[in-house]
């Protein structure tokens, strides 16, 4: 008796998942075997929130695994890393993407971009985005407006965008700009993976119960900010995020709660948004 199309489809998906898992395992083994001198210096690693090089390795490999498995990333995809820092995600993707694959990373941190240029695959692209108002790195309040543009990327050519712990440090206007720019460069029905802080009833419950995040205040409807310099915190209501996503020509297809405010059923630290180009 011949196999049905449904069964063949399941078997093909299982084989594809097995192949991807094998490739992930190979990349993970390779990266974890790298000597410490192949990774960024300690002060760079700490600047992006990793305590040491082992933490950097583990974080890099675990996040890479999550992205590749969730989206079944092919080795010829074009991916955009928003806020690439000193290469936490560029490192594993340098071992995963093939000759036809493309990686573009950008950041407002010149030192991190320079390190990536000098130490990661020469066919990978790294770009500094200059910020007129860099509230993440500066103490003083500024009312200058940023005008971030991803015009250096051809429209509708990117297979996957990820912004890990970027929107958690953006003010409303910059978050809206980035969503609009993501919409321009994503291919039809392809995805963006964004971590952020969603302000919801679980946050307020946690705030009342622990006194944590007492400095976080609502500055305008659904927009909550707190702290200074590299501890700058930004959180948004889900209502706001949905509105900005829709207005950008994108759609929210899935979101997942994070552990940061002891939200129920959560796994990862920040809240997660999966967005698709309409």
> With contact defined as beta carbons under 8 Å apart, do 84 and 35 qualify?
no
Q: What per-residue confidence (pLDDT) applies to 40?
A: 97
Is it the case that residue 143 has pLDDT exceeding 80?
no
Burial of 37 from C-beta contacts in 10 A (0-12 / 13-18 / 19+): exposed
Distance CA 112, CA 60 (A): 15
Name which of 161, 172, 179 is nearest 199 in CA terms: 172
Is it the case that residue 139 has pLDDT exceeding 60?
no
Is it the case that residue 45 has pLDDT exceeding 70?
yes
Find the mean pLDDT for residues 78-98: 97
* CA atoms within a 13 Å half-sphere pointing along the CA-CB vector of 85: 23
> With contact defined as beta carbons under 8 Å apart, do 63 and 93 qualify?
no
Name which of 199, 188, 93, 186 is nearest 178 in CA terms: 186
CA 275 to centroid of chain Cα atoms: 12
Q: What per-residue confidence (pLDDT) applies to 134?
A: 65
Fold for the domain defined by 5-277: Rossmann fold (3.40.50)
Residue with structure tokens 């066919």?
123
Distance CA 258, CA 229 (A): 23
Taking the model in full, what pTM does it have? 0.91
**For residue 275, how many other CB atoms are within 10 A of its CB?**
25
Distance CA 85, CA 12 (A): 37
Q: What per-residue confidence (pLDDT) applies to 116?
A: 98
Find the mean pLDDT for residues 58-74: 97
Distance CA 237, CA 49 (A): 25
- pLDDT tens digits, one per residue of 7-28: 665 556 666 778 999 999 999 9
3 state SS of 249: coil
Strand residues in the chain grouped as ranges (E): 78-82, 102-107, 125-128, 158-163, 186-196, 198-199, 217-220, 223-226, 233-237, 250-256, 271-277
Of the candidate ranges 26-35, 40-49, 143-152, the one whose mean pLDDT is the lowest: 143-152
- pLDDT tens digits, one per residue of 166-220: 999 899 999 999 999 999 999 999 999 999 999 999 999 999 999 999 989 999 9
Whole-number mean pLDDT of the chain? Answer: 91
Q: What per-residue confidence (pLDDT) applies to 17?
A: 76
Q: What per-residue confidence (pLDDT) applies to 15?
A: 65
Q: What per-residue confidence (pLDDT) applies to 18?
A: 83
């Amino acid at each position: 008796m011949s196999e049905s199309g449904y069964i063949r489809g399941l078997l093909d998906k299982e084989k594809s998942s097995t192949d991807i898992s094998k490739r992930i395992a190979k990349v993970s083994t390779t990266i974890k075997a790298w000597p410490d001198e192949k990774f960024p210096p300690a002060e760079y690693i700490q600047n992006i929130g990793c305590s040491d090089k082992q933490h950097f390795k583990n974080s890099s490999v675990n996040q890479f695994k999550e992205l590749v498995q969730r989206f079944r990333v092919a080795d010829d995809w074009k991916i955009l890393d928003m806020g690439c820092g000193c290469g936490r995600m560029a490192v594993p993707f340098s071992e995963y993407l093939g000759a036809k694959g493309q990686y573009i990373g950008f950041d407002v941190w010149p030192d991190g971009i320079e390190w990536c240029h000098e130490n990661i695959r020469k066919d990978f692209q790294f770009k500094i985005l200059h910020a007129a108002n860099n509230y993440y790195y500066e103490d003083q309040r500024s009312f200058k407006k940023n005008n971030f543009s991803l015009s250096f990327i051809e429209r509708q050519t990117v297979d996957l965008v990820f912004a890990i712990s970027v929107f958690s440090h953006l003010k409303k206007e910059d978050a809206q700009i980035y969503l609009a720019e993501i919409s321009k460069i994503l291919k039809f029905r392809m995805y963006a993976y964004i971590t952020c802080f969603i302000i919801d009833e679980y946050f307020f419950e946690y705030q009342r119960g622990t006194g944590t995040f007492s400095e976080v205040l609502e500055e305008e409807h659904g927009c909550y900010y707190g702290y200074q310099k590299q501890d700058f915190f930004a959180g948004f209501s889900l209502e706001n995020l949905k509105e900005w996503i829709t207005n950008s020509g994108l759609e929210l297809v899935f979101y997942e709660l994070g552990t940061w405010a002891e939200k129920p059923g959560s796994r990862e630290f920040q809240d997660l948004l999966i967005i698709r180009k309409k």
